């Protein structure tokens, strides 16, 4: 089993990603670290605890991380995720425990020292904690087995024409992470996640399943779905962070290409991921694997629903 730490800002798609990770027999979720992004750290941290409770994973510890981006102020994404980060659905499962006293970055540095080469890190929020860990200990990337991140886009963005939300929220952090020397990080960006689109039909299927997890997914995605209509005129919603978990469980569902990735930190393109596929830009060495649009959408939803609701296969 792959030992996994998820760095997250739950967040509705983060929530479903966490539920998938805890349910997957291929993943051993050893901790969540939280980061301010979709909403603030004082909201996402109890959300993380509450989600673990819903998932029956009360033993998985939660480490509180950074609230603010490195060097800039950013608005939250409450229009998409609600003021409570979970589309108004958190109160149905109050958490009964608190986060650890050790900080997210202290934990990331410690666990990778204790178990070098053993820990996969999945970052599905702004990259503030990960960059902070690199700043404090440049040896950190060398001890992480694998880094998978949801963020960026080779094509257009979702928060500006150029930028995707997680990278835009903390461009310096994203830039530093790509330059840090992680062993070929996997970037699951919008080119891929556009194909993890939950249609009203899938959402209705989830409603009919009716378990507590299904009720949570159905309820929490109502506001998220409204947001996709209001902002993009699309009927449904994108399960961005969930696709990044699927990439870990079954990489064949989310094909990648080697590319050189740099993040713009200034001007109207700030937060943009500039993706240079090595075949076209031979003067640059690949520093990442970038998920393409060739996602197996049907396979993704079969994995998601089959893992969360095995009795309904």
Binding site for ligand BDR (CB under 6 A): 11, 13-14, 38, 77, 80, 124-125, 150, 158, 164-166, 240-241
Q: Which does 191 bind (CB under 5 to 8 A by kind): Ca ion, ligand BDR, none?
A: none
Q: Is 14 in the site for Ca ion (CB under 5 A)?
A: yes
CB of 293 to Ca ion, least distance (A): 20
Rounded (5°) CA angle 126-131-134: 155
- The phi, psi pair for 116, rounded to 5°, reads -60, 135
Q: What is the CA radius of gyration of the chain?
A: 18
* 9 is annotated as an active-site residue: yes
256 close to 146: Cβ distance less than 8 angstroms: no
- 174: nearest Cα among 41, 273, 36: 273
CB of 9 to Ca ion, least distance (A): 5
Strand 197-198 and strand 237-238: the pairing is antiparallel
Strand 144-150 and strand 237-238: the pairing is unpaired
When the beta carbons of 169 and 218 are compared against ligand BDR, the nearer one is: 169
CB-based contacts of 126: which residues, under 8 Å, 6+ apart? 9, 35, 36, 37, 69, 166, 167, 169, 170, 173, 174
Which residue in the list 9, 13, 14, 191 is annotated as catalytic? 9
Please state, in angstroms and as integers, the Cα–Cα distance from residue 162 to each residue in 2, 130, 152, 158, following that order.
34, 23, 9, 8
CB of 241 to ligand BDR, least distance (A): 5
Q: Is 185 in the site for Ca ion (CB under 5 A)?
A: no
When the beta carbons of 143 and 169 are compared against ligand BDR, the nearer one is: 169
Enclosing H/E stretch for 192: helix 190-193
CB of 274 to ligand BDR, least distance (A): 17
When the beta carbons of 18 and 109 are compared against ligand BDR, the nearer one is: 18
CB-based contacts of 195: which residues, under 8 Å, 6+ apart? 243, 293, 295, 297, 300
Q: Which of residues 112-141 bind Ca ion (CB under 5 A)?
A: 124-125
Q: Among residues 11, 87, 141, 152, which is the contact residue for Ca ion, using CB under 5 A?
A: 11
> Residue of minimal CB distance from ligand BDR?
165
Q: Which does 164 bind (CB under 5 to 8 A by kind): ligand BDR, Ca ion, none?
A: ligand BDR
Q: In whole angstroms, what is the distance from residue 130 CA to residue 141 CA?
A: 9
Q: Which does 80 bind (CB under 5 to 8 A by kind): ligand BDR, Ca ion, none?
A: ligand BDR
When the beta carbons of 47 and 166 are compared against ligand BDR, the nearer one is: 166
Q: Which does 167 bind (CB under 5 to 8 A by kind): Ca ion, ligand BDR, none?
A: none
Q: Is 152 in the site for Ca ion (CB under 5 A)?
A: no
CB of 158 to ligand BDR, least distance (A): 5
Binding site for Ca ion (CB under 5 A): 9, 11, 14, 124-125, 241
Q: Could you list the active site residues?
A: 9
């Amino acid at each position: 089993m792959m030992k996994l730490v998820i760095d997250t800002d739950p967040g509705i798609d983060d929530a479903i990603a966490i539920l998938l990770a805890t349910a997957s027999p291929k993943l051993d979720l050893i901790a969540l670290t939280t980061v301010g992004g979709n909403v603030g750290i004082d909201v996402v941290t109890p959300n993380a605890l509450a989600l673990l409770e819903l998932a029956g994973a009360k033993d998985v510890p939660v480490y509180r991380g950074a609230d603010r981006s490195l060097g800039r102020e950013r608005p939250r994404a409450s229009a998409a995720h609600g003021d409570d980060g979970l589309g108004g659905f958190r109160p149905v499962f109050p958490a009964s425990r608190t986060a650890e006293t050790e900080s997210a970055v202290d934990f990331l540095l410690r666990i990778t020292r204790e178990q070098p080469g053993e820990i996969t890190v999945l970052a599905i929020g702004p990259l503030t904690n990960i960059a902070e860990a690199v700043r404090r200990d440049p040896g950190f990337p060398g001890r992480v087995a694998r880094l998978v991140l949801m963020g960026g886009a080779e094509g257009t963005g979702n928060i500006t024409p150029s930028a995707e939300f997680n990278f835009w929220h903390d461009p310096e952090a994203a830039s530093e992470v790509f330059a840090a020397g992680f062993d070929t990080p996997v970037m699951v960006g919008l080119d891929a996640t556009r194909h993890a689109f939950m249609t009203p039909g899938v959402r209705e299927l989830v409603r009919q399943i009716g378990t507590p997890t299904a009720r949570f997914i159905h309820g929490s995605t109502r506001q998220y779905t409204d947001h996709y209509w209001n902002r993009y005129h699309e009927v449904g919603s994108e399960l961005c962070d969930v696709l990044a978990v699927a990439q870990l469980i079954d990489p064949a569902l989310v094909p990648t290409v080697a590319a050189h990735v740099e993040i713009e930190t200034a001007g109207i393109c700030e937060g943009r991921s500039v993706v240079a596929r090595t075949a076209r830009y031979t003067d640059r060495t690949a520093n990442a694997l970038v998920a393409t649009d060739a996602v197996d959408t049907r396979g993704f939803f079969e994995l998601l629903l089959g893992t969360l609701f095995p009795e309904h296969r």
